[in-house]
Structure 1
Amino acid sequence: MKNLGELFDTFEREAFRLETLDDYGGSGNTGAYGRFLAGDPPPEDYNAEWVAELRSHTSLGKRVYRVHILSRPLTPYLRFELGWGHRTNQAGGEEFFILDTTDKANPLEGVGDFWLFDAQAPVVMHYDASGAVTGRETLSDDRAQEFIGYRDTALAHAEPFSEWWSKHGD
């Protein structure tokens, strides 16, 4: 089975991500997060490598998209991720959706973070309490239907990030 990096290098049609945490602060971008907390604007080259990676896929017609399940009020980390990250990454063609559970039940309660490549290769993400990645587990393709169901449920209950941000963003 391929690992996450190999799947990202070889997917042919789509890469979907479900995010469920309120804080990924332990997973990287700590310097940028600190600048955000200090009130600094994003640097002009913020996430430039990821945006270039995204463009390398989306320019070939591949889709990279994600749903983030969250509730308001946003944590400081979510304000950073959405305000700096999502808004920047859209320039690379990544699509974002928000499943806001502030006033409704979470239809995916208990489902954790994962990537799903070409609707056949699920990669489950594991994190510690600080939001640092502690492991990635590529599951067998026979589990794909389960994760397709999670993806479809998330998308059915989510709204496009730009619409959500215009109502609830800072």
Structure 2
Amino acid sequence: MELISSAERNRLFERFQRDAFHLELRDDYSLPGEEGPFQSWLNGDDVDYAYLRSWTQLMQQTTGRGMTVRRVRIITEPLSPYIQWEYATTPLNEEAGEIIRWLPRHLLPDGITFPFDRKDWWLYDDQLLAVGHFDQDGRVLGSQIINDPSAVAECARLRDLLWTRAIPHAEYKP
């Protein structure tokens, strides 16, 4: 299986025309470059959010072209420390133009199944999937590109179901 880098996946935002949707299923996203800010946050220290700048600029450019970028974060309650931090930083994502909703696992519809071994994925314009792959320590390995119509259709159906049930960030109070 061929994987593209995070930088290559981010270039997909230049190609889509209407909507990008991210489904997040993990309770921990330990990424290189975030250990310092995350640890600072845990310690109650000032946090330098400069590491987010390239992402927020990309989101500002993307949403500035009239595109939507949405996320549903499926989370376990009580929230893990990492997800608490992610919740605290979500206003930075939303200020850049993303729309983020939260869905506690206990509120998932009965019988729901997640494709791709419960891996996170991006869906672009109901045409292309970028499925995230992580190593055992939670580090990003890359994304697998999938354009199989039946897989794309299943993810679009799942997106629509989860989006209607998920709680907007401004309303979710963990």
Change in CA separation of 1:69 and 1:28 when aligned onto 2, cut-off 3 Å: farther
SS at match of 1:32: helix
Q: What's the secondary structure of 2:170's corresponding residue?
A: helix
Query: What is the total number of aligned residue pairs between the two structures?
Result: 165
Alignment CA distance shift 1:109-1:38 (3 Å) = farther
| Alpha-carbon offset, residue 122 of structure 1 | 0.8
TM-superposition CA deviations, 1:71-127 (whole Å, max 9, x none)? 21111111111112x121111110100111246667644432100011110111112
Of 140, 157, 162, the match for 1:149: 157
How far is the alpha carbon of 1:64 from its aligned partner?
0.6
**1:24 maps to which of 25, 29, 32:** 29
Q: Which residue of 2 aligns with 1:161?
A: 169
Which residue does 1:132 correspond to in 2? 139
SS of structure 2 residue aligned to 1:25: coil
Note the residue ranges of structure 1 that are not aligned, 5 or more in a row. Answer: none
State whether structure 2 residue 123 is matched by structure 1 residue 119.
no
Return the TM-score normalized by structure 1: 0.85
Check conservation: 2:13, 2:62, Cα contact below 8 A: no
Residues 1:106 and 1:21: Cα distance change in structure 2 (over 3 Å): farther
Amino acid in structure 1 at the alignment position of 2:92:
T
Partner of 1:14: 19
TM-score when scaled to structure 2? 0.83
| Distance in 2 between residues matched to 1:135 and 1:87, nearest whole Å | 26
Flag the 1:148–1:103 CA change in 2: closer, same or farther, 3 A: closer
- Indicate the residue corresponding to 1:91 in structure 2: 95
Matched, 1:49 2:54: yes
Partner of 1:60: 65
Identity of aligned residues (%): 32
In the alignment, which residue of structure 1 is the partner of 2:83?
78
Q: Distance in 2 between matches of 1:87 and 1:42?
A: 14
Describe the shift of the 1:103–1:123 C-alpha distance in structure 2 as closer, same or farther (beyond 3 A): closer
